[in-house]
A and B are shown apart, each in its own frame.
Chain A
C-alpha cells in the first residue's frame, strides 16, 4: 500500500511538472509565405546564423524577457541551453559585430501584437495565448 502511494505521488508530481511547462509555438505574420519551418530553420534564425527569410526579407526576431518561463523553455527545448548559455553565445556574435540578438518584448501579448503588426516578424509564445491574427509555423517541445 505504501509503495502504491509513493508511485501515485510521483505520478502526480510528474503530471504537475508537465502541466506547468506550457507548449510553445513559433508564430509569424499571416502574410508570411512560409507555412511551416523546420527545427533547423528556427535554430538558424534565433541563434543568429541567418537573419533573412527564404524570400530575402530581413527578419524581425522577437525574444521574451530573460527571466520569463517562455524564454527559458524555448531555448531549453530548441538547443538544450540555459538563458545564460544562450546569452554567452550571443555575446560572441554581438560584441564581434557579426549579428544582433532578437529584439526583446514583454510577454505573450506583446509577441502577438508585434507579429500581427510586422510582416517580417517571428516570435515564440505560449500556444494557449495564440489567436487567428498570427500563423503557427513550428512547435518547440
Chain B
C-alpha cells in the first residue's frame, strides 16, 4: 500500500468520525448533509499464476513472487448535500490500490444534481459510468453477493466515471419503475500493459440506458461509445515501436499494416450490454451479456457474459457463477521480417507478437462461494474461483510474459465488506 493511500485513509477516517457524530446528533429536521461510506478488506490466495489476479485494469495485481496470500482493501466516503428540494450534489472519494494514486483519481465522482420535476433529473460533473448493471457501484462490495464482480465481464472496461452530464427520466410503469438516461462527456483511464502504465483519453463519450425495475425483476439495456483522443496518433507508449514499424514498411510489408493498426486517435469503441436480475424470497439470479467492438486495429472484439445463481440457506447465501469472455477474431500471427532485418533486429518479431497476444482476452471462470451477513451493515464472503485462461488471452491478469501453455488458475478469496 503506498504512502499516499495511507495519507488518504488518514484524512478519511477523521471525516468518518465527524460524520457519525453529525448523524447521531441529527434532529427531525430534513437532513441537508449526509455522510456515508463503504469499505472492503480482502485476502486472496492462489498458486503462483494466481498472484496475477486483479480486480480492475487500473489497479495493481496481487503481489508478484512467491507470496501465497495477498491482502487488499478499499475505503469509500461519500458526502451528499441537499441545498433545496430540487438542487443537490454529492462527492465520493475512494482510497484503493490504484496504478495512479493521485487525489484527482481518488475522487470517484462529484456532481451537482437538479430535479426539474419528479420525472426529470439533470446531473453535471464527474459522474459514474452506467454501462452495466454494477458499473456505478462495483466498488461497493456490500451491495452484491460475490467477492468481486465477475472479471470476465467487468474488468474489460477500465474506467468508472466521466466528466460531463446525464439526463434521466423515470416514472412508474407496470408495477415497476421505468428509467431512461442519456449521458455524454469525456473520460480517461490508466492501464497497465506489458509495455508499462499508460493513460488513455477518450473524448467524447456518450451513451443511453433503459431500465425497468420492480420488487422482483431488474431489466436493462445500454449502449455506449467513446472516441480515442490521443493527438500523438499511436496507442500511448507505443509511439517508438509504431514509428519503427512504419519506417520498415518498404522492406517488411506486414510492418506497415501493424503500424497502421497501432494508430488509435479518432478511433471508436462501442459497448453494448443487456442485463437481468431476479430477486425473490430465497433466490437471487443475475445475468448479463455484453459485446465490445472497436475500430482500433489491434483491439480485439469481445463477447462476454455471466450467470450467477444464489440461494439463502439459513443465515448465509450460497452462490455459484459462470463467467466467460471470448475474442471474435483469429490470433494475429506476426511474420518473420525478411533478411537482413531479421539479422539486425532479431527480437522485433517476438516483441510485436507479444504485444498483440498480450491484448487478447479469452477465458472462463467457475466460482462458488457464500455470503454471510454478520450484521445489518457487515458481510463476510468466501469465494473460490477456477479460471481457464487461453495462452494468448491473458490480458485480465498481471502476467509479465506470455505463457507457453493455457493456464488453469485457482484462487480463494475471503472478503469483509461493510457500509456505514
Contact = CB atoms under 8 A, between A and B. Distances in A.
Contacts of A79: 215
Interface of B: 23, 26, 28-31, 34, 36, 38, 76, 78, 80, 82, 85, 90, 92, 109, 111, 113, 117-118, 123, 127-128, 130, 136-137, 139-140, 142-144, 172, 175, 177, 213, 215, 281, 373, 375-377, 379, 419
Interface residues of A, number: 40
B376 A103 contact: no
* Majority secondary structure, A binding face: mixed
A84 B128 contact: no
Contacts of B128: 96-97
B118 A60 contact: no
Interface in A104-127: 104-105, 110, 113-114, 117-118, 121
B177 A49 contact: yes
B23 A104 contact: yes
The 8 A-B residue pairs with the shortest CB-CB distance in the complex, in nearest-first order: A96-B136, A114-B28, A84-B373, A91-B143, A52-B118, A58-B85, A83-B376, A49-B177
Contact of A50 (B23, B140, B172): B172
B92 A95 contact: yes
A34 B349 CA distance: 75
A35 B241 CA distance: 73
Instruction: Output the residue of B23, B118, B139 with the most chain A CB within 10 A.
Output: B118
A60 to B, nearest CB: 5
A91 B140 contact: yes
A44 B170 CA distance: 12
Contacts of A80: 281
Contact of A44 (B38, B177, B419): B177
Contact of A87 (B136, B142, B144): B142
Given A49-B177, A58-B85, A94 B36 contact: yes
